[in-house]
Structure 1
Amino acid sequence: MAENDIRIKRKIIHIDMDAFYASVEQRDNPEYRGKPLVVGGLPEGRGGVVATASYEARKFGIRSAMPSKQALQLCPHAIFVRPRFAAYKEVSQKIREIFGRYTDLIEPLSLDEAYLDVTNDKLNIGSAIEIAQQIKQAIKDELNLTASAGVSVNKFVAKIASDIKKPDGLTFIGPSSVESFIENLPVEKFYGVGKVTADKMKKQGLFTGADLKKLTENEMITQFGKAGAFYYRIVRGIDDRDVQPHRETKSMGAEDTFAYDLTGIDEMYAELEKIAKTVHDRLLRYQLKGRTITLKIKYSDFRQITRSLSLPNCTDDFDSILNTSKNLLAATDTENSRIRLLGITVSNFIPVETKSIPPSDQLRLFDI
């Protein structure tokens, strides 16, 4: 009972900026306002991928990580612009300053989202809902941008709640509502459950949190590995993870599971190029350089291998990342292989100041 009491007393806010990159571009460039705007790779040539899209563009079905060529097909009159990470980082720092008025317990997940623990806020406001409202208003008044907020007793529920009423929303899930909220949640909405895991769950008749709750902890671990223990606790509203203000970045990567198995080396190289570009952009965004490049390969039979190479010097260079990954791939038996997933990770970083991103997270290509 004591553990439950401690958990209920926590006040966690998850703030998520609305279409952040696109919103900054529309704020800074009046000619983009009210128009379908896509930030990311341009559709010309081989084309890139969508980093984010304005809400006007999303009405046409354009989504993050979609190939830019596909986005152009969905909306031929869309405006495509390359990301300006320096500008986004500057805005992100100002948002962080607003957070700091209320608490020092701030855990940024990326440039545009963060957890805040306001259990004991600096201004003695006491109400997490009121603090979230004030933060949203300050972002709107001072930066001319909008944010959505989720407020609850733990990180898991707060993050999901912030996505419910986007854009410019605020959702509160109180202590007495947490379990029922999670029971009614579709499994694909669980933070950390990707498409592959969601499909696996559905094939077993597991469609909601209530379905997951019927499994014992051992059954969950047997079915889903280490994550099973996490899911077992989450569906019961238990998430005791602290908001961590300082987290050291161990690695930076991206991976993609393909719609069909890759069988030719040329298409494998083409997919590696997209993934390497995502990793390269993330390294630049967080000003990181690493020595070790790791290639992850998952075959059609779900067999998985990794191959790594440490370079003489740290790098964030796109060509170095791509060429090293290609060489690692070529050293495997690609001729008779069917590959369903490829991933690239850069690690062994130069010692730097603590960065505001998750440690050792293997970010998917679709988490841009």
Structure 2
Amino acid sequence: MGNGVYTSQHEDFRSMCREFLAREAVPYHDAWEKEGIISREFWRKAGKTGLLGMGVPEEYGGGGEPDFRYHAVLAEELVRAQVTAPGLIAHNDVVASYLATRTTPEQAERWLPGLCSGELVAAIAMSEPDAGSNVADIRTTAVRDGDSYVLKGQKTFITNGENSDVVLVAAKTAPERGAQGISLLVVERGTEGFTRGRRLEKLGWQASDTCELFFDECRVPVDNLVGRENAGMAYMMAGLPRERLSIATVAVAAAERMLADALEYARQRQAFGQAIGSFQHNRFKLATMDTQVTIARVFLDHCMGELNAGKLTLVDAAKAKWWTTELQVEVAHHCLQLFGGYGYLKESRISKEWANSRVQTIYGGTTEIMKEMIGRSLGL
């Protein structure tokens, strides 16, 4: 992984990420998967190493580096090391990104240093039992009462839901206005009326703590409103290209990794007196995947450049998100088949990649929603 869009500085950062993950994550990852959660010590060590809040201004303890390519390098190295990625991406590319650009100086001073040091873990809470990809359908409400909002509702499928100390919650402050009546509130650990449900067991990403969140007459200070009241949908729309590009980055990195492993196996594994990669069917499958993955990488690199220039559109991000994640699932399917019985073993790398890949076409907006957005942009 890594190519011509990266400079020597990015490659130096890659080496640091690789060494850190080999030392502080890989030896403990099996235990994290069994426990269903990444240790808090890892978060603190990641913060100390400079892997958290890379885009946050230096005055708040961040890296002060807006270049998305550093985030992409970290995502690629997480995939390479097969270390659970969604939690770090939600923390860095979603919540820290929102709070670095939408908060007041007082709010920034309150939350950003902790997010950068790993003392605070962040989550974003949009999805609900009856509202997934369409955020406009959320039912959680926040009613102003003096110097507080009274928050009522339920969120589900929340990455970092158990570990989180600050949760960026989407709620309707003006329900009669529909999507234009959504606000973003930060709910902090220990707030009365805020509780967490059971840890959800998932098909993949076993070390990613995911749970339901409940808000029962939860009083959130008005000072925890992020940005302007009722501007939440606009903020989310502005943040979605980056979030979806982060998911696409994981997809391409995973597809590249799976293909590399499959190629190595196809050269070594013998059947009927020859390497299995020499059979025309397998050779054509690998040639097809190699072509598709190369094209995906080219478009991803283009989109990274557009994001860095402030020009990545919702539509292009949707194209990148659905195409690369569907490709990831397809590559996982064909590579597991190539590995045969060994690929079906739970301990095999490809079986884990196969399980982890499936959610990529679901979270961050399903493939169907991405295609709907693209279709509407065509005037259909």
User: TM-score band, normalised by the shorter chain?
Assistant: under 0.3
Taking structure 1 as the reference length, the TM-score comes to: 0.27
Structure with greater strand share of residues: 1
Structure with greater helix share of residues: 2
Taking structure 2 as the reference length, the TM-score comes to: 0.27
